[in-house]
Amino acid sequence: MKINNFIKIINEYGLSWCFYRGIYIVKLKLLRKNKNFWKLFEKKIYIKNINIFDIDTKRLENFFNKIDMKYKNEIIEKADKAIEGKIYAFSKNLLDYGNPIKWNYNPITKKEVNNNIMWFKISDFNDEVGDIKLIWEPSRFCHLYLFSRAYIITKDIKYYKAFSEQIKQWKEHNKYPYGVNYKCGQESAIRMINILMNYSFFKNYNLTNEEDKKNVQEIIEGSYRKLLSNFFYAEKCIKNNHTISELIGLIIGSWCDDNDKRIKKYYKKLKKQLENQFKPDGGYIQYSFNYQRLVFQQIEILFKIEDKINIKIENKLKELIYKSVMQLYQLQSCDGILPNYGSNDGALIIPVTCAHYRDFSPTIRSIICIYN
């Protein structure tokens, strides 16, 4: 690297960032040279409990009894497509990942990444394979909410079977630390939330079995291991919505591992990140309404589990988040649409309504209701 370019990077990101980024580069080089080096970063864990989410299915049924048949049919149609491996990537692009789903596949380039390669040996950028985020989309498991909602509407057992079978397939084709789906900590955290939420849903209907439980435990263990082994990079170098997602994943994983010490540790780090990432006027550090909403959805999860993790969110932090969500409330149009301000990859990580992904009103109302 030329000295002028190096100086520009220091001026742009600061010495601290450059220092930690340099450490991470060294770590990756060592990981790629020594096949056993990754074990030095592994923590001893044992996933004991996966029932962190309490789902009120009766309340959900009462709600779905009131919605228009048009929206019910839309949910059923999308759920049936998801059973066939046709997933809405980035909330709007229907892509065919195959049936059964090919979890390491880019449906645009028709190329797959070898799932027998350790994650740190897989390049972020590959012209032949294409955008890695297209591969990650089905492994976020956002489409599981379609199965749960379609089951509420129809009581058709095929939606539970689709959930069960896809979880099993994913586990079999994604063994930690191998494959592209373990490259990103945020993806692991989102996967944990969505699988655990929908597992609890089907468990409430007494549909899940011991195999489902073991499959979920194994996926949570691998995803949690990924977060524990590589959070250093998200904390020291990224410092945006990725860091928030990973911390939520670490808190959930620590609860599943019955580790109160780690829960407190990662909540303390989360509090610091939220205080640093949200500005006093409610603005968000990434200058993106879509990523601001993504963080709000993670905060909803934190509120949802606060009784389980035995940590109450401080009023000062609540006020900061409330001020930020009210900023979006003031800026939305009557149909919930906000200006397409900042980066927008269509991310809607917990899609539990029929609203268009550009409609922010469900998330805004949800956060406001928490405070009221």
pLDDT tens per residue, range 256-273: 999 999 999 999 999 999
Percent of the chain with pLDDT over 70: 99
User: Which residues on neighbouring strands pair with residue 326, listed in sequence order?
Assistant: none
The pLDDT score that the predictor gives to residue 10 is 79
For residue 64, the 8-state DSSP code is H
Q: Is the pLDDT of residue 12 over 90?
A: no
Domains of the chain: 34-279 (1.50.10.100)
The residue type found at 154 is: T
| Tokens matching residue 57 | 């299915």
**C-alpha 86: how far from chain center:** 20
For 220-230, give one letter per residue: b (16+ CB within 10 A) or e.
Answer: bbbbbbbbbbb
- The number of residues in the chain equals 372
Q: What are phi and psi of 239, to 5 degrees?
A: 55, 50
Work out the pLDDT band at 2, boundaries 50, 70, 90.
low
Average pLDDT over the chain reads: 94
User: Taking residues 56-75, what's their average pLDDT?
Assistant: 93
- pLDDT higher than 60, residue 233: yes
Structure tokens belonging to residue 104: 């390491």
CA separation for the pair 235, 63 (Å, rounded) = 39
The residue whose two tokens read 């928490």 is 370
Residues 6+ apart with CB under 8 A from 119: 177, 178, 179, 180, 181, 182, 183, 226
210-233 helix and 158-173 helix, angle to the nearest 10 degrees: 50
Residues 6+ apart with CB under 8 A from 41: 228, 229, 230
So what's the pLDDT on residue 14? 85
Q: At 109, is the pLDDT very low, low, confident or very high (cuts 50, 70, 90)?
A: very high
Identify residue 241 by its one-letter amino acid code: N
In what helix (H) or strand (E) does residue 15 lie, and over which residues does it extend? helix 15-33
Give me the mean pLDDT over the 31-55 stretch. 91
Examine the pLDDT at 123 and tell me if it is beyond 80.
Answer: yes
- What torsion, rounded to 10 degrees, do the Cα atoms 279, 280, 283, 287 define? -30
One-letter amino acid identity for 167? I
